[in-house]
Amino acid sequence: MLLTSLFGLDEDGLLDPDLRIVATAIEPLSSEEFRRLAEGALLKYLDTARATAPALKRFLARLSYVRVDASDPAHFSPLADAVGPIGGGLSIFLSTAPSLFGPTIAGLSQTGLAGETARLALEKPLGSDLASSRLINDAVAAVFPENRVFRLDHYLGKETVQNLLALRFGNALFEPLWNAQGIEHVQISVAETVGLEGRGAYFDGMGSLRDMVQNHMLQLLALVAMEPPSSLNPQSVRDEKVKVLTSLRPVGQRDSIAGQYTAGAIGGALVGGYIDELGGPSDAETFVAIKAHVDNWRWKGVPFYLRTGKRLPIRRSEIVIQFRPVHHSIFGAPGGSLQPNKLVIGLQPEENIRLLLMTKQPGLYRMGLRLREVPLDLGMADAFSDVRRRIAYERLLLDLIEGDPTLFVRRDEIEAQWRWIDDIRAGWASRGSGPRPYSAGTWGPSAAIALAERDGVSWHE
């Protein structure tokens, strides 16, 4: 993701000609060996039409490599020598184990790589609870002030996620209805068909609640529920998101469901259960469903249903806005059932926006009209067929380089998210019940279906 995104920025002429990319890891590689690795990766993941010899040569010339063992302070001096003077600006992208954040930041500071022109981007996991998150944030804050810290959530780089702002605040059609008077409920789903994929050690220590809900899904909820910012500047946008996150009601005992997949079938292929893949017993949840509420004037009484899991039937991430029905239907039988309007915002695998409307069914009928629900589709790939589809990291890396933090997460956002998540985990611990089993290839435990259906709601599938 990182190399292909940086290549895309270079390809479009968005990188300064003098910008250099210095890669670090613990593996002992020369710069030439790293360039060969990078070239192989780019040829594997890029379209052949883009990965031309001149474009690859130009990009690979930007790359160099320095071996760094973050636990050894002596390793940072060669890195500082390779980077050189940072008066023209330095963007640091740090993706490492939480235990190495402190030593890495200390090493950067001691070798002059944390000066006033340096920005630090941090990729999750930023702790495993509020206390550990604060330790990391304190270590960062001791060297980098908040205005030079860029906490990255790659979902915020997706075009359709950013389109939420345009959809809501750039169209007079939606904003008057975007409240408890116009919306009945909201669903946010992130469904994965994959299992552990070699991430067993990390995932088993986190579970789906902390791996997906704490960051991606709560950020999506905040963008859906936020008040209009005064302007599209970083402080205004993030101020409004924080208000939502601090307004989340503590989740009741019946309003959160944890599950763990057992053996089943995905796409016709048999797959093992979670403990089979992991190789031992575990009480980590691979599925979570939550009924959440935002306790403010706009969303009084509107439930937000969140659902995420591994080994579900299909891979799909989407936001569903269920509008309220018309107050009185003039279309009696045989007009058919009048369905409330629904806005479906697809994030992956395809980015699109679909509005479900009621229209007259063509034909000649006695005794009134016959109606049918039809979709009004805005497929991003079709509407913008002349524009290359970008990886989310492209947007975020460009913003990091240019110093725009709008799509990055502020410390108070992270900590508000962790407070809410820690409260849910404490509730699970107090009940002493482990995750409920569900077969791979299904939509989670039956209790997750009941979570919505007891309110007369069906999950959008």
Summarize pLDDT for 129-164 with one digit per residue, the tens. Answer: 999 999 999 999 999 999 999 999 988 988 888 888
Q: Which of 216, 327, 328, 460 is catalytic?
A: 216
pLDDT at 80 over 70: yes
The annotation places the binding site at 124, 154, 158, 192, 211, 310
pLDDT classification of 385: cutoffs 50, 70, 90: low
pLDDT at 380 over 70: no
The annotation places the binding site for substrate at 154, 158, 192, 211, 310
As a whole number of angstroms, the distance between CA 408 and CA 401 comes to 13
pLDDT, position 383: 62
pLDDT classification of 333: cutoffs 50, 70, 90: low
Class of domain 1-153: alpha beta
Across the range 119-134, mean pLDDT stands at 92
Residues 6+ apart with CB under 8 A from 412: 242
The annotation places the binding site for NADP(+) at 124
pLDDT, position 351: 84
Cα angle value 235/319/422 (rounded, 5°): 65
pLDDT, position 96: 86
Across the range 224-236, mean pLDDT stands at 93
As a whole number of angstroms, the distance between CA 112 and CA 410 comes to 25
Instruction: Delimit the domains of the chain by residue range.
Output: 1-153, 158-388+412-454
Please list the residues that pair with 94 across neighbouring strands: 122
pLDDT, position 224: 96
pLDDT, position 338: 82
Across the range 180-203, mean pLDDT stands at 93
- Number of neighbouring beta carbons within 10 Å of residue 332: 10
Model pLDDT for residues 47-68, shown as the tens digit of each residue: 888 889 999 999 999 999 999 9
| Mean of the per-residue pLDDT values of the chain | 92
**Three-state secondary-structure class, residue 62:** coil
In the CATH scheme, what is the homologous superfamily, with its name and number, of domain 158-388+412-454?
Dihydrodipicolinate Reductase; domain 2 (3.30.360.10)
Q: Is the dihedral of CA 195, 319, 451, 154 positive or negative?
A: positive
pLDDT, position 192: 96
As a whole number of angstroms, the distance between CA 239 and CA 236 comes to 5
pLDDT at 335 over 60: no
From its phi and psi, is residue 133 left (phi > 0), alpha (psi between -120 and 50) or beta? alpha
CA distances 344 to 3, 91, 160, 187, 224, Å, are 32, 36, 11, 9, 12
Q: Name the H helices within 53-157.
A: 53-60, 76-83, 101-110, 130-141
pLDDT at 334 over 60: no
pLDDT classification of 262: cutoffs 50, 70, 90: very high
pLDDT at 30 over 60: yes
As a whole number of angstroms, the distance between CA 136 and CA 132 comes to 6
Residue 168, phi then psi, degrees to nearest 5: -75, -50
pLDDT, position 319: 96
- 216 catalytic residue (yes or no): yes
